[in-house]
Structure formats: structure tokens, C-alpha cells
Chains A and B, each alone.
Chain A
Amino acid sequence: MHETKRVEQDSAPACTEATLEVLETMFFELPVAQPKMQGKAPEPAVAATAVFSGDLRGSLCVACEPWAARRLAASFLGREDESTIAEAEVRLVACEMANMVCGNALSRIEPHGRFQIVTPVASLTGNEGQEWLTFPLESGAVAVCLRIASL
């Protein structure tokens, strides 16, 4: 347990870098301020969870404030009019973001490791009491929580 906590703390820079790269490259979005750790996810939120196994086991959750989630989905899908985006598409884009941040973070934490990421689901599970890395955007915030269950 102690070792698990250490790995989670050590993974914070990798998680930050991974999230920033995904936001900039795939969503053309950069935070308006430095990310900070917070004790809870934004509420309400559009959330997605990616569960992974392999050399490390755990989950990565992404939670976006609704307006930010819609804007990010519009950027990802290349649509200027955010009103044309269905709620289902917003959730699918959140899932894809969780997938990309998870894969990117894991390859930074364990470049020689082997992982299997299960197709993300649009929900927020098992993150009570966890620290969330929160990135303030122009239109809301996106938060990321990496939980490593065991070594």
C-alpha cells in the first residue's frame, strides 16, 4: 500500500505532461493557469474511466465540467457549432480523452512496461478520497485522477 502511494505520487508529473500533450495536440486547448491538485472532481461533470492492467494495474478517470466537455468535443470533432454535438458524442469524446491520457501517462511512467487498457466507459467510479489533477480551461475545468491499485 505504501509503495502504491509512492508510485501514484511519482506519477503526477507524467500524468500532467500526458494530459497537457493530449489537450494541446488533439483538442487544440491549453490550460489558462497551472494545474493544481484538488480533493474532489468537478461537479457536475462529464466523466470517463479507463481501467488498465499489466505491469501496473489501476484506473484513470477524466472529469470535465459540462461546458468544457462540450467545447472539447467540438474541437475534437472539428465542429464550430457546439449545439450540433449530441450528448452521446460528448461522452464518447470524454472516453477517448481518458484512453489517450491513460496510454500516454503509462508509457511515460513505465516505458518498457506492457499494459492493456480496457475500452473506457462514461462513468466515474472508485475515486472517493483521491487527488484530482485539475486543469483550468477557458470554459471550465478538466480534472484527471490516476489510481494505481497495486504493483
Chain B
Amino acid sequence: MTKRLMIVDDSPVMRSFVRRTLQITGLEMESCAEAANGAEALEKLHEAGVDLILTDINMPVLDGEGLLRALQVDPELKQIPVVVVSTDSTEQRVDALMGLGARGYVKKPFQPEKLSQVLSGIFPEWASVADGGF
């Protein structure tokens, strides 16, 4: 089943990397929007439907934690699952983000298999695609 994704990261090359990794996994995407920070993501989320958000933590304007907090108080957006993709993998930070409602955490650097595994946990219909791909 195809999904609409959004990648939130202030680095355009990292957004490109994540998008390419998603394509490598074989998971079917209907669309893949991009935003350079949490504020831009919130703006775009109100314009277009998204089934899953992949977000970095350290970003200018509004960081990943701020984005998670904003989503939690927005009745229209709070149901969208969020997966954090970040270099910051200290235990405190991961616990804090999961406490803010993140559904998964992928530590950079990561293999496509890891991203696929986390996404399959959120969308079980993707599990067979992920298993077949690796």
C-alpha cells in the first residue's frame, strides 16, 4: 500500500539520502514531501496529507522536539506517526523523544534495513516488502 511521506531535515543532502534509502527499501510511496525544519513541516502538513513523518532533531527555527510537541497539540496532525532520524542517540535523548510521541528512532548512520524495519513496525503491510527486499 502506498504512503505519503514527509522528510524533515535542514540538510538537503541528508533529505536526498533518506529519500534514496526509502526507494532502495522498495517501500511504495505515493509522495515524499520535504521540509527544512519543524516550522516549514507544520506549514506543509496543513496543506497536504501525510501518512508518516521522518524528522531530524537538531534544526533551526523549530527543532524535532518542537515539531513533536506541536503535533501533539494539533488535533488534525497528532495521529501522524513520527520517526526520528538523528545522529543524537544518547539514551536520554531517545527516551525524551519517545516520551513526546515519536513512534520510532533511527540512529544515523543507518543501513536501509534498519529504516525498513522501523517503518514496517508502524505499517505492517510494508513488512512483506521489507522482508523481500533484504
Which positions in A face B, CB cutoff 8 Å?
A: 21-22, 25-26, 73, 76-78, 89, 92-93, 95-96, 99-100, 102-104, 106-107, 110-119
Majority DSSP secondary structure for residues of B touching A: loop
Which positions in B face A, CB cutoff 8 Å?
A: 10-14, 16-17, 20, 58-60, 86-93, 107-111
Sample of 18 A–B contacts (CB below 8 Å): A25-B110, A26-B108, A26-B109, A76-B13, A92-B11, A95-B11, A99-B87, A100-B109, A103-B86, A103-B108, A104-B89, A107-B90, A111-B90, A113-B92, A114-B92, A115-B88, A118-B58, A119-B58
B111 CB contact (under 8 Å) in A25, A102, A113, A114? A25
Q: A103-B88, A103-B89 are in contact. Are A117 and B11 (CB under 8 A)?
A: no
In Å, the complex CA distance between A25 and B16 comes to 16
Task: Say how far A145's CB is from chain B's closest CB, in angstroms.
Answer: 18
Task: Say how far A147's CB is from chain B's closest CB, in angstroms.
Answer: 18
CB nearest to B10 among chain A residues: A119
Q: A107-B88, A114-B92, A115-B90 are in contact. Are A76 and B17 (CB under 8 A)?
A: yes
